[in-house]
Amino acid sequence: MDKETVVRVHCISHTYQDKTEIKICGLDFLVGKGEKVAVLGPNGCGKTTLLKHILGILVPKEGEVEVFGFNPSKEFEKMRRRIGVVLQEVDEQMIGPTVYDDIIFSPLNYGYRTEDAERMADRVMQKLEISHLKDKIPHYLSGGEKKKVALAGALILEPEILILDEPFSNLDPKSEEEIIQILKEINLSRCTTLITALHDVELVSEIADSLYLMNSKGELSEKGESREILKNTQLLERFNLKRRTLV
């Protein structure tokens, strides 16, 4: 595994309990340190399945997954502090009774002293401009507020990789822009690797420099610079994707 490559996925398959089988093959999925990479494809093509294998949530029936050189399904303890995640359904990952409790959970769980964890929580809430929400109940927040709280929880330990599954779904344009700017800033300032799954063609060039296209059968058959791929309207149509505006 190349020293600059932090994620490698090679031709994986997974069978869910309802017997649905998803096979993700074609190109190897390779992500270098500090890259901003997006996977673009229609709903149901397997993007979330790919991310869950990287996170070690799913175990491949076939194929190989490496993150920092480890097998995430077997060695997740060796890498979990180095990865942050924002799920598509953020309600599933918010477990604290208040916003503050939810955000501070990870450092406390990892054994940080309370005063250090509190400083970390205050710092990340200020960065995301959500300090005023600290005593709110997470599940009563707006969609944009929930995404920011989930992002704060993902960023509090300053992960080397941030994985985002449809992070802009159900957001208004202002919230989209705010989160995009936050992600760009942490990538630039910390060299945080960003891996994002999307189905919205319009947002790809804002969030990723490199792009993989995944078709409805789970095949990764295109990779390149986001702006170049998005100019190819015939290619996008082959993947059931379409732009509303020109790049």
Average pLDDT of 9-19?
A: 93
Contact 55, 72 (CB under 8 A): yes
In a domain, 145, yes or no: yes
Average pLDDT of 21-25?
A: 93
What's the CATH code of the domain at 40? 3.40.50.300
In the prediction, which pLDDT does 179 show? 92
pLDDT tens, position by position, 72-92: 999 988 898 999 999 988 998
In the prediction, which pLDDT does 185 show? 95
In a domain, 244, yes or no: no
In a domain, 246, yes or no: no
pLDDT band, residue 1 (cuts 50/70/90): very low
In a domain, 55, yes or no: yes
* Tokens at 107, concatenated: 């450092």
Count of domains observed in the chain: 1
pLDDT tens, position by position, 177-232: 999 999 999 999 999 999 999 988 888 988 999 999 999 889 998 889 998 998 88
* Tokens at 15, concatenated: 């069978």
In a domain, 86, yes or no: yes
pLDDT band, residue 62 (cuts 50/70/90): very high
Q: Which of 22-26, 173-177, 235-239 has the highest mean pLDDT?
A: 22-26
In a domain, 193, yes or no: yes
In a domain, 247, yes or no: no
In the prediction, which pLDDT does 103 show? 97
Which range marks the domain in which residue 228 is found? 5-238
In the prediction, which pLDDT does 3 show? 52
In the prediction, which pLDDT does 33 show? 96
Nearest to 47 by CA among 24, 63, 77: 24
Nearest to 86 by CA among 167, 203, 199: 167
In a domain, 211, yes or no: yes
Is 2 a residue whose pLDDT tops 70?
no
122-125 LR contacts (CB < 8 Å, sep 24+):
124/152, 124/155, 124/156, 125/99, 125/100, 125/152
Dihedral of CA 202/217/61/4: which sign? negative
Q: How far is residue 204's CA from residue 227's CA, in Å, rounded to a whole number? A: 8
Average pLDDT, the chain: 92
Model pTM score: 0.92
Is 146 a residue whose pLDDT tops 90?
yes
SS3 labels along 191-214: CCEEEEEECCHHHHHHHCCEEEEE
